[in-house]
Structure 1
């Protein structure tokens, strides 16, 4: 699949006009069909082949995505080594999502890299800000990460948190909106 939109990753404000909506819609339709097959396939090799097409890159052999999995776009998600993505996760990746090595995502984590313009006259326009989950981070069940947020290395995000700002490395955050609770304990 040829991806005509790589310049959109972390592009900031993007006008939802011209050929762009049709280009994005075509990729979204193809992604939706691939997701149906992925989520209904039990054989690991077949799932990995489908993910390679969906993400426009192979999933590392040391990483796993448990179905069901959802993404609205697909090719703007980058997944490192030794990553575990649990069931029912949803990625909105047009603005770019990077998941570094050794990351754990609990069930129903949502990573959102797309917002909309606050001005009602331009509300259909997109505001694209990439999400980055740094090495060794752990996001608990039902966490939502908003556009433009970086989760720091080895950070823990407590279940149900809504992360609206960057999370420092080696900290535990929780709540709505997520706030720093304490530093990581090390034995």
Structure 2
């Protein structure tokens, strides 16, 4: 579901309050020495949702809003990843996210006089997907179950289940056959 948020509105001001609070938590997370459980506890405070103990998050970890980032079970997030989540980012179970991945659910308008206003469009990454190092996912994209996004790809369109995509913009280069689900 796409929506808009304009500068100077009450909704925008409310977001700024949450951003300020969460930026303190993100800074605390990335500048201290923490156990794996402490990392999950701080990220749970940032997202306002309990992060399952089976998930592993490597630091540094960045999010600009935090409250619209939803992380499944047995997820691995490598270091340096950035989640621009105001529009919503949904990460399923068993997802692997490589280092320095950027997932954005926010865009700006092209018209210069409106450029500071935001267009929000959620990103959904389904179960068992794997995003390689330095991948960028743009607003509104759905990455299908078991999909693989090759390192350095820029994903601007939906990725079908069981597809391998690569390039800028990302395109399907292979289909994964004979998955365990296919053998049932």
TM-score with structure 1 setting the length: 0.90
- Structure 2 distance, partners of 1:47, 1:153, is 27
- Structure 2 distance, partners of 1:178, 1:44, is 33
Is it true that 1:56 corresponds to 2:48 in the alignment? Answer: yes
Equivalent position to 1:17, from 3, 8, 30: 8
Counterpart of 2:78?
86
Deviations 1:59-96 (A, max 9, x none): 11111111110000001000111110000000000000
Bigger mean CA offset, 145-154 vs 32-41: 32-41
Counterpart of 1:74?
66
Deviations 1:134-186 (A, max 9, x none): 01100000000000000011000000000000001101000000011010144
CA contact (8 A) 1:131 1:147 kept: yes
* Within-5 A mapping of 1:1-12: 10-12=1-3
* Within-5 A mapping of 1:24-39: 24-39=15-30
- Structure 1 distance, partners of 2:93, 2:62, is 21
Counterpart of 1:136?
128
CA contact (8 A) 2:81 2:101 kept: yes
The answer for unaligned runs of 5 or more in structure 1 is 1-9
TM-score with structure 2 setting the length: 0.92
Aligned length: 178
SS of corresponding position for 1:26: helix
The answer for unaligned runs of 5 or more in structure 2 is 180-184
CA contact (8 A) 1:41 1:47 kept: no
Shift of residue 37, structure 1, vs aligned partner: 1.4
- Structure 2 distance, partners of 1:132, 1:175, is 20
